[in-house]
C-alpha cells in the first residue's frame, strides 16, 4: 500500500504539477510580444489619425476666418492672421493679397505638417512655405493657391496621375499648353525660385518643355531632349544625363538663388547637380504678351511637351535637399 501510494503521488506530480518547459515559455513570450506590437501599432495609428484630424480642423477654421476678412474688405486678404482675429500657431503666407489673392496655411503638430491653400481647403500632408503657385492638375487646370486658373491653349486631356489616381494628371499632345494668369507678371518678382513637377514623357528625340517664362531673354525653363536641361535667364544652361525614360513618371526639381548665386537640380529626390557663380539677370515672371509663363511649353511651339504632367509647384525660395526628398516621398497630390 505504501509503495502504491508513493507511485500514485509521483504520477500526480509528474502529470499535473510539473512546471513549464523552456519551449513553452518561449512560445508564451513570443505571443505576448506579438500582441504588444499589434496594440502599439493600433494605438499609434489612432494617435496619428487624431493629430491629423486636429490639424485639419484647425486649418479649416483658420481659413474660414481669413475668407471672412476678405469678404469684409473688398477681397483684400489680411496681412497677418492677427488682422483676421485669429490666434493660431499656423504659418500664414499671403501672396498677391489684392483680388484674387493667394495664400496658404501650414500647421505642425507631433512631427506632422499639413497645409491648406485658398482653393484647396482639404488638409494636405507636406509644406507650403514659400509656395506661390500649385497646379495639382486633378480634374481641372486651376492654380489652387488662389491666383486663378490658366488659359488652355490647344487641348489638354485628363490622364492617370503619378500616384495612380484616375484623372490625376493631364496629357499634353505637343500642340497644347496651359498659360498662367496675367496677374503673375505684376504680382511675383523675387530673387529665389524653385520649380517642382511630376512628368511622364511619351516619346523621345526632340525638345519637350515643362515650364518656362516667355519674357526675353528666357527667364527660366525646364525641358528635355534626351537629357535634362534647366536654365535661368543670363546663366549657362545646365544639362544632365541620362534623360527621362519614356513612359516612366519622374519627379524633377530645380532651385535657384540669384543672391548667392547657386543652382541645384534634383531627379526623383536625389541631387544631380549643384553649382555657384552664375548670377542671372532680370526678374522672374515678367509679362510677355500678357502671359508670364507656360506649363507644357518652352520657347516655341516646336518645344512643347508630349506626355503627362502632374502636381506642378512654384516656390519663391530655394528648397533644401531634405525638402526635395520629402516632396518626392510624398508623391503627387
Q: Do 78 and 200 sit in the same domain of this protein?
A: no
Q: Which residue has the higher pLDDT, 107 or 205?
A: 107
Instruction: Flag whether pLDDT at 216 surpasses 50.
Output: no
Task: Give 126-150 pLDDT, tens digit per residue.
Answer: 999 999 889 999 988 988 887 766 7
Q: What is the pTM of this model?
A: 0.81
Please indicate, yes or no, whether residues 77 and 162 belong to a single structural domain of this protein: no
pLDDT at 8 over 60: no
- Are 34 and 173 within one domain? no
Contacts of 274 (CB under 8 A, 6+ apart): 262, 263, 264, 265
Kindly indicate the confidence band of residue 217, based on its pLDDT and cuts at 50, 70 and 90.
very low
Confidence of residue 42 (pLDDT cuts 50, 70, 90): low
Query: Per residue in 191-209, pLDDT tens?
Result: 788 999 999 999 988 888 8
84 with 142, same domain: the answer is no
Q: Are 176 and 286 members of one domain? A: yes
**Looking at the predicted structure, is the pLDDT value of residue 47 above 80?**
no
* 301 shares its domain with 177: yes
Dump pLDDT digits (tens) for 70-102: 999 988 899 999 999 988 788 998 876 666 678
Q: Which of 113, 129, 145 is the last residue of a domain?
A: 129
24 Cβ partners below 8 Å, 6+ apart? Answer: none
Average pLDDT, the chain: 81
What span, in angstroms and rounded, lies between the C-alpha atoms of 45 and 47? Answer: 5
One domain, residues 47 and 179: no
With respect to residue 159, please indicate whether it lies within any of the assigned structural domains.
yes
More confident residue, 69 or 44: 69
Same-domain check for residues 162 and 284: yes
Are residues 175 and 50 both part of a single domain?
no
Its domain, for residue 95, covers 20-129
Tell me, yes or no, whether 120 and 188 share the same domain.
Answer: no
C-alpha cell at 246: 519614356
Considering the domain architecture, whether residues 322 and 263 belong to the same structural domain is answered as: yes
User: Could you tell me if 305 and 212 lie in one domain?
Assistant: yes
Cα–Cα distance for residue pair 238/299, rounded to 1 Å:
16
Last residue of a domain, one of 129, 150, 181: 129
Q: What is the pLDDT of residue 276?
A: 61
- Structural domain contains residue 48: yes
Domain final position from 90, 106, 129: 129
Between CA 257 and CA 216 the distance in angstroms is 20
For the chain, what is the domain count? 2
CA separation, residue 96 to residues 84, 116, 132, 285, 326 (Å): 17, 17, 9, 14, 27
Amino acid at each position: 500500500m505504501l509503495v502504491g501510494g508513493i507511485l500514485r503521488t509521483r504520477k500526480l506530480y509528474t502529470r499535473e504539477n510539473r512546471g513549464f518547459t523552456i519551449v513553452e515559455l518561449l512560445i508564451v513570450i513570443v505571443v505576448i510580444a506579438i500582441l504588444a506590437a499589434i496594440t502599439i501599432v493600433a494605438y499609434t495609428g489612432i494617435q496619428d489619425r487624431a493629430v491629423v484630424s486636429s490639424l485639419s480642423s484647425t486649418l479649416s477654421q483658420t481659413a474660414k476666418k481669413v475668407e471672412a476678412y476678405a469678404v469684409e474688405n473688398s477681397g483684400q486678404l489680411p496681412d497677418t492672421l492677427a488682422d483676421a482675429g485669429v490666434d493660431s500657431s499656423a504659418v500664414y503666407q499671403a501672396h498677391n493679397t489684392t483680388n484674387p489673392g493667394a495664400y496658404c496655411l501650414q500647421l505642425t503638430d507631433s512631427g506632422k505638417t499639413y497645409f491648406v491653400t485658398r482653393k484647396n481647403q482639404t488638409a494636405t500632408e507636406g509644406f507650403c512655405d514659400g509656395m506661390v503657385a500649385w497646379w495639382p492638375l486633378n480634374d481641372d487646370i486651376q492654380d489652387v493657391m488662389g491666383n486663378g486658373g490658366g488659359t488652355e491653349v490647344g487641348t489638354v486631356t485628363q490622364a492617370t496621375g503619378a500616384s495612380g489616381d484616375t484623372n490625376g494628371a493631364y496629357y499634353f499632345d505637343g500642340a497644347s499648353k496651359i498659360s498662367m494668369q496675367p496677374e503673375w507678371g505684376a504680382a511675383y518678382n523675387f530673387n529665389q525660385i524653385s520649380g517642382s513637377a511630376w512628368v511622364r514623357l511619351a516619346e523621345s528625340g526632340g525638345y519637350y518643355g515643362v515650364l518656362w517664362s516667355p519674357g526675353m531673354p528666357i527667364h527660366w525653363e525646364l525641358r528635355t531632349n534626351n537629357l535634362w536641361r534647366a536654365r535661368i535667364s543670363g546663366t549657362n544652361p545646365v544639362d544632365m544625363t541620362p534623360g527621362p525614360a519614356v513612359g516612366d513618371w519622374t519627379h524633377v526639381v530645380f532651385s535657384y538663388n540669384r543672391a548667392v548665386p547657386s543652382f541645384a537640380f534634383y531627379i526623383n529626390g536625389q541631387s544631380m547637380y549643384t553649382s555657384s557663380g552664375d548670377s542671372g539677370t532680370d526678374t522672374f515672371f515678367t509679362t510677355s504678351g500678357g502671359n508670364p509663363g507656360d506649363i507644357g511649353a518652352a520657347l516655341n511651339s516646336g518645344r512643347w511637351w508630349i506626355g503627362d504632367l502632374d502636381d506642378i509647384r512654384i516656390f519663391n525660395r530655394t528648397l533644401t535637399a531634405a525638402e526635395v526628398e520629402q516632396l518626392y516621398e510624398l508623391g503627387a497630390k
